[in-house]
Structure 1
């Protein structure tokens, strides 16, 4: 998962600033950064059933191959068509890997928070390195060639997948995850979080810096903060997951959600760096707390893939609509104003969860 994420992580920092190098307009950038998530909305249920049928190892091998191909395609894409193909392929890959890793992590429900957190920490190493060193490499080899270079370490994920144990399948009885069913309150909150973090923030942070500095510096600055999104997961997910296993996921989730909301407020009022750091750190905590909240509400006999697929689906609906809406709304509304609106929406979503749970 860590190696597979290299190209996708860097694309968020590079594509908004270097859209013309890929033959895209800013509106197309929003489409490309949403396309993979739109695919996932419809893919989770099918992939959950396919994983039950063919096993985790086989589906992870397929995902590793597709991840390598999609990363290489970023480097040779010019115009919407090929980039769209690459993003669709990546959407399928991520849907496979996120369900596979969560399936492994929640096998033991009592320690689900810790296991999900440790998994998230390992997964974020690749994106952190891609955003810190990849953005520097863009200035040396260009925004296109850097993805061809990243395809090489991504290919190592194929070797790792080939060495996974054979014959492993999810232990739950196969059910049909109603991934597009009516969202639960926690799904609504993750929809809003996906819209805000992966949409409004990811699309606009580089552009905020570009107002006051050179483009190359803005890309590196935006890339550094986007790297903090992954660094926040690497640090906060295992820590807060461990705490959740001991004091209960619900109360820890509440604290992390409030602080994530306050981070958006910080960006909205002009405290960009501090607000972003707070938001990204506690958004990282939510990465393990969401699955932990679900796992702690289920018995060992109940299927977890269905609720997890539904939560991931609604998060991805938010994360796919976020870039589309942000790219359009930036013509009329400032990035700071949009961050403020996200903070208000998160407050409403959190209140809905508290009153309904």
Structure 2
């Protein structure tokens, strides 16, 4: 027996699983151009014709444009559907990779970063919408989706680092452009029907519990933690090559491949809200330990906890917003995570040299715990945006 999803199409589990895998594979093929650029641009800034400060702005530009453009992307996706949206986004990723391989200078590269930000928003939204199209097994499906997505960076990061040492930082992007172009073909198998959306609401509203948790999760784990790991661990790391750095970054995605499906299955058994609370409370404790000086052991634990938590939010959003508002609700949570992930590094750069790390990480840890506990409260009305 099948159940209709929010788009009005049959959402039997086999086809939903297949569409989720295909959307995830498309993003896995498009994403390596961005992750390899994160590795190589700061190390080879002069090869790309930019300063180190300009490299930092370029790496942040894709998040900034998503904060402003997620609403537009969500409306385009709702009108056009997955197939044309993902094919267009994968084609844009191909253009970006070719640009990284051939163009130099800040003003030549910044349009590519903005284009990639919108492309990632579309692909990320499609993977979440496809994995939650059928509420049955949504958490398991989303965990497997995160694992598939991580496969691209796991392969590309060490390969890109090795090629950069032998042939310079540009060569890898030609190969990644070919991979992204193959993603266009993969996206052709996605459904093309639109996703009905409720009328847009123009009024401003305060962030809800899921908004707050998404912001703090991005702020702490994608912002403060990443910058703090580099800052606090710089005296402990041995001098190494770009290959070592690429391998370290790849381990983060390898953790997603191994652990995100486990997190999804755990959520299906105990409930995503309950698991979110327990993992967030554990993360808060580990963050305090990280700030107290147990840098490497706590960093390893945070990587594990982050991977387990990644599949949890989309199923909660889909459960609370099962109707036409699901796509917009998923986009809203992504915006709040991007805001947190964008502000976290900026604040870390300002306060880490001035404030004791135990305070820097203890305060966000307490706030993350509070936000997680607030997420267990049900929405006030069925079908309401969970906030």
TM over 0.5: yes
174 and 59 in structure 1: CA distance in 2 versus 1, 3 angstrom threshold = farther
Alignment match, 1:274 = 297
Structure of larger gyration radius: 2
Q: 1:344 aligns with which of 346, 351, 363?
A: 363
Q: Aligned pairs, how many?
A: 349
Q: Quote how far apart the aligned CAs of 1:102 are.
A: 1.0
Moved beyond 6 Å, runs of 4+ = 177-180
Q: Relative to structure 2, which stretch is displaced further, 285-294 or 99-108? A: 285-294
> Which residues of structure 1 form unaligned runs of 5+?
none
Structure 1 contact 27–328 (Cα < 8 Å) conserved: no
> Which residues of structure 2 form unaligned runs of 5+?
1-26, 378-387
1:168 aligns with 2:190: no
Alignment of 1:186-201 (within 5 A): 186-201=210-225
295 and 55 in structure 1: CA distance in 2 versus 1, 3 angstrom threshold = closer
RMSD (Å), alpha carbons:
2.7
Alignment match, 1:213 = 238
Alignment match, 1:249 = 272
196 and 17 in structure 1: CA distance in 2 versus 1, 3 angstrom threshold = farther
Write out per-residue CA displacement over residues 140-170 of structure 1, whole angstroms, 9 at most, x where no aligned residue.
Answer: 22223332332222221112123334x3333
146 and 270 in structure 1: CA distance in 2 versus 1, 3 angstrom threshold = farther
Matches of 1:146 and 1:215, distance apart in 2: 20
Q: Quote how far apart the aligned CAs of 1:89 are.
A: 1.0
Structure 1 contact 45–176 (Cα < 8 Å) conserved: no
Structure 1 contact 34–324 (Cα < 8 Å) conserved: no
Q: Relative to structure 2, which stretch is displaced further, 181-190 or 103-112? A: 181-190
Q: Quote how far apart the aligned CAs of 1:205 are.
A: 4.5
Q: Quote how far apart the aligned CAs of 1:270 are.
A: 4.3
Q: Relative to structure 2, which stretch is displaced further, 29-38 or 178-187? A: 178-187
Matches of 1:213 and 1:143, distance apart in 2: 23
Please report the TM-score for the alignment, with normalisation by the length of structure 1. 0.87
Matches of 1:343 and 1:179, distance apart in 2: 35
Alignment match, 1:38 = 64
Alignment match, 2:284 = 261
Q: Quote how far apart the aligned CAs of 1:126 are.
A: 0.2
1:233 aligns with 2:256: yes
Write out per-residue CA displacement over residues 311-351 of structure 1, whole angstroms, 9 at most, x where no aligned residue.
Answer: 10000111222344445556x459xx568624531321321
Q: 1:82 aligns with which of 108, 111, 133?
A: 108
Q: Quote how far apart the aligned CAs of 1:203 are.
A: 4.6
Alignment match, 2:23 = none
Q: Quote how far apart the aligned CAs of 1:99 are.
A: 0.9
Write out per-residue CA displacement over residues 12-41 of structure 1, whole angstroms, 9 at most, x where no aligned residue.
Answer: 222333333333333323322211011111
Matches of 1:84 and 1:112, distance apart in 2: 36
